Structure 1
Amino acid sequence: MTEADAISLLIEACAGGDDQALAQLHQREGGRMIGVALRILKRRTLAEEAMQDSFVLVWRHASRFDRSLGNGRTWLYAILRHRSLEILRKESRFDLTDDMAVFEGASDADDAETLMEKLDGASRLRSCLARLEPKRRAAILLSFAHGLSHGELAERLRLPLGTLKSWIRRGMQNLKECLQ
């Protein structure tokens, strides 16, 4: 049995609700998937997000996989590529890194409130950040100012990784809406 056949079988098992198959799929392909996503996105945090989102999509849509149309590995990486390109498009339309240049010299000891105070009081960004729930605002500010990965930030804030990613995603969506 080829590796591609083994992956196809795991995807088919996911379609049947086998969460262990998803874990095996993650174990087999997760590292390689991050590498592929990293080549597209150029930022590890975004590559990790693309990989995690891809596994969620595999779990939700495994029943759509049809081995007669191609092997499982091709299907898996097509999902990853599509998700990575979606993230890349969103990032190119809305990138806060230039606006947050004030944080370049931030100390690791700086908390979210200290970081918020460093922003220009009249800036639209500060106004929009002020509208966010404090926990989401803190996650976004600490992520940008300290360059922490989602995993590092979750550990620092003592939150489950999924919760932290949701907070950042929703907070970023709210910022986008506010800044447009």
Structure 2
Amino acid sequence: MKRLADGDRSALEFIYQATSAKLFGICLRILGERNEAEDALQDVYINLWRSADRYDPDRASPISWLAILARNRAIDRLRTGKVQRGAVPVDEAMEITDNAPLADAMLETEQRDAKIHHCLGELEQRQQDAIRTAFFNGATYAQLAEARDVPLGTMKSWVRRGLAKLKRCLEI
């Protein structure tokens, strides 16, 4: 939120990716119409861009603050009288559950994934390819060895050494 208040556009993009599903759900639940919910959500992020400096971490977590902004914006749209069809009572708006991980957990996961990909990039190409294919595509050592036309023992050595280098890199 601090970066956003300082005008960092990438911070807005990150916040949007981390929170838009939940906030859209809040807007949709209150308004009952997809188009209205999309418009309300857009208003939330426009207002966020303009007023991120008003966020007070002592009063609420970022997602709670954004949920309140979304709820209020959706209620404002209801009050105009244009939205009627499918709306739920306003009292139910805050009862929406969110099973998504918290934004800080998502950031940690993103940073961990970036480090893994960086460390994979530090490996020899043949080790990198073998490990990616084995772990991301589920290939066995035998399949890897056959595809690269090398003995099975050689493939196992490439992967074992690559994993050892990967572990050292990740521990730094």
Q: Shorter chain as normaliser: what TM range?
A: 0.3 to 0.5
TM-score, scaled relative to structure 2: 0.47
Q: Which has the higher contact order (CA 8 A, sep 6+)?
A: 2
